[in-house]
């Protein structure tokens, strides 16, 4: 069998970035939750918030470490497997990545030390500020890397000289057409992912009877945050889709399974796209709805895949990923609203706890599916409309790339198993606040008791 280094390099890149994104998609949001916990403790003096902080900061440390090491791998991959990319667009991509290192990586790596181990060495204020700076760092990191990623989808602000991209206007490059939407969509996704993550683990703790008042404060925070963020996310996602329609019509045509350009296109809810036969089998369609959603006209024209022969992404992966993402989004919305209602009514039943703990990693599923939509949707281009991925790959022996690919896959599978096992182990220890409430049954005078009834469920 002929080993194609191009295909193997792509699989390796996809494996690396899929593994990597799991961790920032939790840690960006989780870090802001930690700032919130710390702030609540500082303002109310309620120890529960401090316990919440110290439980979740451990989870954050582990998640963050996995994100860091897999992120370093990404920065080397550009050079080891895709040298042509930097040779062609280095003038643009280089400084954006450089700014990420300079403004984000050092900030988060440095203040993480204080955040984790500095509590007794610095004042509460410095500790709070350190947590805040780490949160700023993680978000700044997302800002730069998403700016570059967006530029690859909607390139702007450059000229080309002898095949090399030259800078024309930095503001146009950084704030390229899809950046604003992608940045908000990704940060919101992280908030939603981490909200379900903390709520799910807290619910799991409640089911295992190792929960204390702090567990319930976290669960409430997660559910309410998810209930607020989920609808915003759906709305932002829709705006993001409209930008894609304008700049990357082939992506939308594949997502919607529109084979031929048509006016008044139907929305395909479900079906089995078949690229060979250029049709969607057993399609369940709503007439004219795709045109209404995408163009806001009943008879709006949507370009079909026929317009992009040899330059459109593979249809089935996009079609399915998109439906998984949207389906997961609405499921999260439903569970978050149900949960908020139940919490509001003070009637949390076992089914809600079950649903929440099953959905601990719901954000991962939606985020991965979302990234597959956007990244596979850019294929065969690496810079939309200008550079094909096949033009920039390194000329390695297929066997060598295969061996490193297998190495990465084994390593990542091993780490993922340990990550989940470790989370389970950490969450099955009795909550500190639970022990406190047993050991020191007499509460302090100012201890608020809104969660007391919930804790008894």
Residues of this chain that bind other proteins (CB under 8 A): 54, 57-58, 61-62, 65-66, 68-70, 72-73, 75-76, 78-80, 83-84, 86-87, 90-95, 97-99, 101-103, 105-107, 109-114, 116-122, 164, 166-167, 170, 394, 396, 400, 404, 407, 411, 415, 418, 421-422, 425-426
Q: How far is the CB of 90 from other proteins (least distance, A)?
A: 3
Q: How far apart are CA 231 and CA 41, in angstroms?
A: 29
Q: How far is the CB of 45 from other proteins (least distance, A)?
A: 16
Q: How far is the CB of 111 from other proteins (least distance, A)?
A: 7
Q: How far is the CB of 51 from other proteins (least distance, A)?
A: 9
Q: How far is the CB of 340 from other proteins (least distance, A)?
A: 30
Closer CB to other proteins, residue 65 or residue 289?
A: 65
For residue 246, the Cα-to-chain-centroid distance in whole angstroms is 24
Closer CB to other proteins, residue 70 or residue 147?
A: 70
Q: At what angle do helices 362-376 and 5-44 cross, to 10 degrees?
A: 140
Q: How far apart are CA 288 and CA 266, in angstroms?
A: 4
Closer CB to other proteins, residue 59 or residue 250?
A: 59
Q: Where do we find the tokens 């989870």?
A: 59
Closer CB to other proteins, residue 137 or residue 339?
A: 137
Closer CB to other proteins, residue 5 or residue 273?
A: 5
For residue 386, the Cα-to-chain-centroid distance in whole angstroms is 27
Q: How far apart are CA 254 and CA 259, in angstroms?
A: 8
> Closest Cα to residue 79, out of 93, 67, 96?
93
Q: Count Cβ atoms below 10 Å from residue 360 Cβ, excluding itself.
A: 21
- Answer for the pair 350, 298: CB distance below 8 angstroms, yes or no: no
Closer CB to other proteins, residue 58 or residue 297?
A: 58
Q: How far is the CB of 112 from other proteins (least distance, A)?
A: 6
What is the Cβ-side half-sphere exposure of residue 202, based on CA atoms within 13 angstroms?
A: 28
**Residue 100: exposure state from Cβ atoms within 10 A (0-12, 13-18, ≥19):** buried
Residues in the chain: 457
With left for phi above 0 and alpha for psi between -120 and 50, is residue 443 left, alpha or beta? beta
Closer CB to other proteins, residue 101 or residue 452?
A: 101
Q: How far is the CB of 196 from other proteins (least distance, A)?
A: 22
Q: How far apart are CA 77 and CA 450, in angstroms?
A: 51
């Amino acid at each position: 069998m002929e080993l194609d280094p191009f295909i193997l390099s792509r699989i390796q890149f996809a494996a690396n970035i899929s593994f990597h994104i799991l961790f920032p998609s939790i840690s960006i949001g989780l870090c802001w939750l930690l700032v919130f916990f710390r702030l609540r403790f500082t303002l109310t003096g309620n120890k529960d918030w401090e316990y919440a902080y110290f439980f979740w900061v451990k989870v954050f440390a582990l998640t963050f470490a996995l994100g860091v090491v897999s992120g370093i791998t990404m920065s080397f991959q550009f050079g080891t497997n895709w040298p042509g990319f930097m040779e062609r667009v280095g003038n643009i991509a280089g400084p954006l990545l450089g700014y990420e290192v300079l403004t984000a990586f050092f900030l988060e790596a440095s203040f993480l030390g204080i955040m984790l181990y500095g509590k007794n060495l610095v004042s509460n204020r410095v500790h709070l500020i350190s947590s805040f700076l780490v949160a700023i760092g993680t978000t700044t990191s997302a800002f730069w890397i998403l700016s570059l990623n967006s530029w690859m989808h909607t390139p702007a602000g450059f000229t080309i000289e002898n095949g090399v991209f030259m800078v024309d206007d930095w503001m146009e490059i950084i704030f390229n057409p899809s950046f604003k939407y992608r940045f908000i969509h990704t940060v919101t996704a992280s908030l939603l992912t981490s909200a379900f993550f903390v709520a799910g683990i807290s619910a799991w703790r409640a089911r295992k009877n190792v929960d204390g008042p702090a567990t319930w404060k976290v669960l409430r925070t997660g559910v309410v945050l998810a209930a607020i963020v989920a609808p915003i996310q759906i709305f932002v996602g829709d705006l993001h889709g409209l930008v894609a329609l304008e700049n990357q019509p082939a992506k939308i045509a594949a997502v919607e399974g529109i084979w031929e350009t048509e006016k008044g296109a139907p929305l395909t809810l479900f079906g089995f796209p078949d690229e060979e036969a250029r049709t969607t089998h057993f399609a369940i369609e709503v007439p004219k709805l795709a045109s209404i959603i995408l163009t806001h006209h009943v008879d709006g024209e949507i370009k079909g895949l026929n317009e992009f022969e040899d330059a459109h992404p593979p249809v089935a992966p996009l079609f399915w990923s998109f439906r998984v993402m949207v389906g997961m989004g609405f499921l999260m919305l439903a569970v978050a609203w149900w949960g908020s209602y139940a919490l509001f009514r003070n009637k949390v039943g076992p089914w809600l706890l079950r649903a929440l703990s099953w959905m601990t990693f719901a954000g991962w599923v939606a985020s991965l599916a979302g990234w597959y939509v956007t990244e596979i949707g850019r294929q065969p281009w690496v810079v939309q409309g200008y550079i094909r991925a096949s033009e920039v790959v390194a000329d390695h022996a297929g066997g060598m790339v295969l061996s490193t690919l297998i190495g990465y896959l084994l390593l990542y599978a091993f780490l993922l198993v340990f990550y989940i096992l470790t989370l389970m182990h950490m969450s099955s220890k009795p909550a500190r606040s639970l022990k406190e409430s047993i050991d020191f049954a007499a509460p302090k005078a100012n201890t608020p008791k809104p969660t007391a009834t919930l804790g008894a469920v």
